[in-house]
Structure 1
Amino acid sequence: MQFSSIGSGSKGNGTLIRSGETLLLIDCGFSLKETLARLAAKGVSPEQLDAIFVTHEHGDHINGVAALARRYQIPVYLSAGTRYVGKLSKVAQLQTIADASPVVVGEIEVLPVAVPHDAREPLQYLFHSGGLCIGVLTDLGCITRHVVDHYQQCDGLLLECNHDPYLLSTGPYPPSLKGRVGGNYGHLSNQQAAELLRLVDRERLQRLVVAHISEQNNARERVLEQLLPEVDAERLVFADQGQGFDWITLKEAGMARCDNTLFGTLSLGGN
């Protein structure tokens, strides 16, 4: 299995999952033109996409979904709540899915997982193929038992480290937005991400991708302060807003292999 990102952050998100001939896109928060350019940078043409899985209706995750799906006739999977919002009503191939009810697309089994976030019916996802599991877990305000139970054994995990609580509290956001981001239906802090790692099987984890980092309320050195006691640096990759991260290949035995030089992104400094 492989995974990559075309961008991660408040200005747009998109994650690619590949196994064999099956290629999935999770969310698309960019314009069609920008999406095509970002896909091309990862060596992907839109005709290769077998499906788009939507996590929730916020613009940084859904803005480009309808245009991409309509032009290239790609089926879109989403929760009943996200469908009810109506932002994708003009997409011909909508498939409604539900928490803990797996669906199979090509060579990949996809398990939706309900999470607490300020959206209609948000989902995150686990992807299984060939005995491997990739988890995508962003846009949730707290770690629930339901999340811990389902994300126990990931070989690859894309995990939100949105903010540092101190930087959020002293940062430029208005009080209402600070409350939303830091609340139980907002976004995970670095500390909450580290808490999740303490509760799951870290020995199996080949690669941990740090995602959805706030440009205003976080810094990489603060992320590393929290995560390095739980996962060694050789397994860490940072996703960024501009380029996401390059393809990571997971293997059934031993550590994952990165197709490009990723660890240069581990240098300390604000994002």
Structure 2
Amino acid sequence: MKFCVLGSGSKGNCTLIESGSTSILIDAGFSGKEISRRMALIDRSPDDLDAILITHEHGDHVGGVGVLSRRCDLPVYANPGTHQASEARVKKLHQGCEFETGTGFTLDDLHIHPFRISHDTADPVGFQITDGTHSVAYCTDTGKITTLIRQRLFQCQALILEANYDPDMLLNGPYPMHIKQRVRSNQGHLANNDAAAFLVELCTSEVQHVVLAHLSETNNHPDLVTAQVQQELAPHNPTFSLVLARQDQPGPFITVGG
């Protein structure tokens, strides 16, 4: 099982996951042309894809969904609330497929379990994806780590987790107060310290790889994330690798179990 975060941040989010003969995208928040360019950098093509899964309807997660679906004849999987909320932005799809949040489904070689997260959209989800041997969890755009989220993430060998903002940078930054309050709310985004505290919990799990994603370009900095996480993890001797996803280019192609 392999995955690559093609890019993550407020300007676009897109992650490739593959196992066996099955290849999917989680979100497609860049233009179709940009997603094609980034996939080519890791020797892949949208023509290789079997489906797109959508976490929620914000533009930085669905901006390229419609064009990729129509151009490559791809089914798009989302729950009814997200399909309805994103309809005006994605327009016509080659095929729209619905799942129920909390109910797993199979897509060729992959079993996918969508779980509820905490964000200010219609029905936002994260995904736990397994090929029967290994599993990857995707969890960004959540204002808090709930008991349900914790349960799902602890079952995986690899994790893509949000570390969106530094609280001091957000407080002293240029956003108007109502946006600051939204970001730091339980239905906003996950702060560096909250992500770091959860990673400490993961030191007792079977997680092998963690990618920290959706870093704010305005309210965060890679050095701050790295320092916070290293400080929290140092006493606990973590065994998992740690990578920071970038907005401007794909990250490494990570093999789960390799």
Give the conservation status (yes or no) of the 8 Å contact 1:239–1:245.
yes
- Output one character per residue of 1:11-59: Cα deviation in whole Å (capped at 9) or x when no partner: 0110000101110100011112112111111211111101100011000
Matched, 1:245 2:251: yes
Moved more, 80-89 or 226-235: 226-235
CA distance in 2, matches of 1:244, 1:217: 21
Structure 1 segment 59-208 matched on structure 2, within 5 A: 59-85=59-85, 86-87=87-88, 88-200=90-202, 202-208=204-210
Q: Which has the higher helix share?
A: 2
Spell out structure 1 runs of 4+ moving beyond 6 A: none
Give the conservation status (yes or no) of the 8 Å contact 1:153–1:201.
no
Give the conservation status (yes or no) of the 8 Å contact 1:162–1:213.
yes
Q: SS where residue 253 of structure 2 aligns? A: strand
- What TM-score do you get using the length of structure 1 for normalisation? 0.88
CA distance in 1, matches of 2:117, 2:6: 23
Structure 1 segment 6-25 matched on structure 2, within 5 A: 6-25=6-25
Give the deviation of 1:172 after TM superposition. Answer: 1.3
CA distance in 2, matches of 1:108, 1:213: 28
> What is the RMSD computed on CA atoms of the aligned residues?
1.6
Give the conservation status (yes or no) of the 8 Å contact 1:148–1:199.
no
- What TM-score do you get using the length of structure 2 for normalisation? 0.93
Give the conservation status (yes or no) of the 8 Å contact 2:137–2:152.
no
Runs of 5+ consecutive residues of structure 2 not aligned to the other structure: none
CA distance in 2, matches of 1:206, 1:234: 4
Give the conservation status (yes or no) of the 8 Å contact 2:208–2:239.
no
CA distance in 2, matches of 1:220, 1:234: 18
Q: SS where residue 136 of structure 1 aligns? A: strand
- Output one character per residue of 1:169-222: Cα deviation in whole Å (capped at 9) or x when no partner: 011111111111111111100111123223446441111101100111112232
Give the deviation of 1:159 after TM superposition. Answer: 0.7
How many percent of aligned residue pairs carry the same amino acid? 40
Q: SS where residue 104 of structure 1 aligns? A: strand
- What is the aligned residue count? 252
- Output one character per residue of 1:55-95: Cα deviation in whole Å (capped at 9) or x when no partner: 11000000100000011110100011111222345113111
